[in-house]
Amino acid sequence: MTHEIRKTRAAARFCGLVCCGLAFCGLLVTGCARQAVVGSSGTPGADASEATLRSDLDALHAAEGRFNAANDRYTNQLGELEFSPSPGVEVSIVQGDRRGYSAIAATGDSECAVFGGEARPPRSYVTQPGLVGCRR
């Protein structure tokens, strides 16, 4: 299998085919469908925290995709990614290997998670690869 075909398959696995169904020759389409950020708590501070967590995990998802395209694997080391969490946000990569990655981001009052590739979801409230889910 050529390197380009492997990269295309990796990009398709990474997106879970939710990125508008598109992955061309290792070029990961960054216009992935995203869940709408809908306030769930009725508390402006908590909703702002959730929005920040979602944004950070969307950025992490994209960084893992770039890393996978370049290295044919995902990583569990934040230092290997072009990613920095927002102030006050703690990000943990639970899994990062050839199969996929999963991560959790948290602040004092909110927690969200995401996964990509063939990794297991890190929390039960996350059900689709590439789509950030938050605890309700």
Q: In this predicted model, what pLDDT tens digit does every residue of 49-97 receive, in sequence order?
A: 999 999 999 999 999 999 999 999 999 999 999 999 999 999 999 999 9
The amino acid at 92: S
Residues with Cβ < 8 Å from 17, sequence gap 6 or more?
Answer: none
How many C-beta atoms surround the C-beta of residue 31 within 10 A? Answer: 8
Largest Cα–Cα separation, the chain: 52
Residues with Cβ < 8 Å from 129, sequence gap 6 or more?
Answer: 14, 15, 16, 18, 100, 115, 116, 117, 119
Instruction: Give percent of the chain above pLDDT 90.
Output: 62
For residue 129, name the pLDDT band (cuts at 50, 70, 90).
very high
How many C-beta atoms surround the C-beta of residue 129 within 10 A? Answer: 24
Backbone torsions φ then ψ of 104, nearest 5 degrees = -130, 140
